[in-house]
Structure 1
């Protein structure tokens, strides 16, 4: 191992406690340990967590970058995590350290950690001295050759574990090549390897990782991989598939896959397969299915040659414990680039302690962050939030002892990252088009943290309310128009959002009212014609001959008592009365002024005969109608 940057390996391993010291009578807190998760070798644009490990009694942490304070955090816990999002080779490929505070005293800085941002320089070439499968105790050499464009004097070469990119060995290259020796390999050395090279001075930029070389050691089968579909956090009643896949063997073989649950007395399921993978179905999961799972496989021809166990997969099925509360600090609505803390709190009077909190986002089956805590809450940092961080969040907690109990999910927290408040929406019940007299409800919908709403009609403020519901009772046509609404969040009471899209409300008059109004108008017209007729002394015979009076008395608006009787059509020469009417001299229909009563009368006689026609060949004569109308 090259001694140039030994802290890369120690920082990438497990944390350890350093002893504190004394200055006079003052106890200096012990130095913390800083390491990177998942590795100090980070692809450009990826996220990395820098963990500063202290001990109980710590109440504050600082992260330093190139000797300058980058971030300070007050946390009453033995460890702090500093998240760096989307690492950049010029800004973030630097030297880091951390300090802790106990009772207002700061410790000495931790050992330095170099953060190498890889994926910038050209890719190196990797090779292995032996075939894929070797015997235990064999010495294997892995060579890494730099790109011809690189000068070996300015670079360090690192051998990496392929998946996590954790550095295993470091060397200064001899020429353009570095050779890593794996002496007396053991079963634990089996796996996949890659290599990179990076600059010795800041900014610590590195190459693209090389291709992968595989090493297998005889005596035990390589361990499989276990993962869950659709996710590891599922609601009760959901179906979950656990997939177990093994590395490709030297020749196709039939193997027996086995699914285990830790602390169970026997395996859960078994499957026989010739494929490199198999699936285990867990139908209708319950909270009792919460736990830690792993899988293994054996060759069917050699049942005692079992593989290593897979990495542990933790499955969470909420519902056994009361739900927690999730808060956003400073608030659920922030601008891009803001640092936000989502705080998950245990329910009041909870008897649990030393629990694990997990942060969830709706639509993502995996938890975003998980944190162990001895307090009643856990803080999940979201640094330099972007629009993509907008969404609905919740959290859960569970105990650390088996059998696990997992809480219900907290109420959903609606979180927005935007420069402007989202526009509300307006809906109506029962319909946007109603008849007069109907009750109408308008519902204005905004984010869950809206505290006040306003309703507008044709762009003018109509009313305000707290729940977004507005009631219009016994509407009339005057309430037709275009409605819209807005809301505000309480951060600034005078700041309202833009208006929702307009919603047109149409109030129509019922059709039976139109009929009544039409009849009333026709009735008034009839009365007007009657008064005009009496006042002008219109000749009855002429009116009847022209059909005016017939149409007048056929009006549906006249009462039955107004028209004494009528016959629309009478056959000519049908009765003797008709002939008599022709021969009889006509008398004046209107009395003369000498009438002693001083009253004007109009006499109309209607006579029709019911006798059948005696001769169908005879022609009809025009009917004569008499009607008596008395006007007081």
Structure 2
């Protein structure tokens, strides 16, 4: 595309030049300005007038002057001459002509040269509508505007030697806005498109303002697009350093980084030696750096395509950090489901969940929970695989600024549980403990695991212990939890693992640890029909309290199984629960206690009730003797001989006792007679 040089529309000036004495057959001279006809004030400009060979005098004229502005006499006749102005000012702006003189006469005047001096007013602003990112072959609208009352604007384009070419000028009528729109295009990708604009008054059209900041159009060409990446990552903490890399080809002359919404490149890099990449450094990231970035390359073949978009997110902009938990467990199994909860007492529009490698990224609208006076989002992951293990965090942000996030939540480690044999988790101190007692949980397995892991439901941390091997072939680990407190209560699981694998075994069965004495309530426990029953009978243990409780728990001393839980029935001013046992056996004999819990504290209990002893005899019923089995003849005879022998032994024993008494009485009589003599 070749741009047509358009004369300034706001001119209309006339030159009052004197008539040359012998103008005629000599060729018309050419007047040029170096370095350019648009020059900033306080800079130097040189006028060069080129005529015919043998010219011995050159004259330079300026508008409004009736006589020559400058006269230069050549010592040696030549075809050109020049003069310079070292420091330009407003009175130097205007139209110039030149002519030369030879022994044969005086030449015509040159065509007028417009000398524009800039820097007299504050600079306007130049922008591309809607964006400086354009595609090859498109037209683009450039807008030049100023907050001061300038009614004329001029647009220039920088050429290969950084010289400006005036493309167009416009004068506007007052509309309350001082701006002009210039249409440029269609653009091509084989050159650079750099523009500036100026403002000026109608009455002084050669006295321009300072130039606007340069605006470079980023033309998406057909050359292979570069790649863009951020180090250490595209999610960066406020105040941290980071680098953005743009990688293209070795013949790239310029690398340009552009931020969406900006009217000028974020930065440009010109490699000093052949290099296929450029680094754009941000030593101290702030919230203004957040946004979407692309990069481009320019070479002798033209512009490349634009790179993919890099979205730079700045975290830590808002101080209220959310809290991330797993609703079920932080250990997941293949094919299962997982739900992560992100909550905050600060009002955020949205929450976002990230993984350390940023492979998983999900955003959810926040929901207000009035009962908790918190905002939350639930992130559900179906069909979990081993790829889901790792460290997760969540952030809060607002819809208007999606790249500005809060401080991160605490990290939540998600582990993957495989299909190897599950271990067993046991407690030797019982499932219900008083505060202050010491608790040790043991995880054991027939599989020789190198280590064991203990996890508490709702917790973020794991306890790991090396495995020990017993002579019987068991591998085990003891987890000492120390003195029991309210925080000890909860549901525990354990896992086994091999050192060479990051995958854990299947989960043990859950083990609940309950803490008694947390509520100042003493429930009562009774047995119906009575505390001594026979095997096969039905028994009901009734636990009740005068307080309104949510759950009742029945526990048997030294039982390996978990305590039973029941929701209460409410009657009048009391609540109660009936624990029914059908067809009891002697295994159910023992000492029972019951407890109550309230609210969401599932693992914090009341004081224990008084103990109740349940005795289950081995006989079934009371009216019918136990059935007898038919005996053989030999067995009957053996029974008869045994009874007969027992009777004989009894009679013999009675006779011996009688004889003993008689002997003792005879000995006593002889002793008395001897004493009387």
**What's the TM-score bracket when you normalise by the shorter of the two chains?**
0.3 to 0.5
What is the TM-score when the length of structure 1 is the normalising length? 0.33
What is the TM-score when the length of structure 2 is the normalising length? 0.31
- Highest CA radius of gyration, 1 or 2? 2
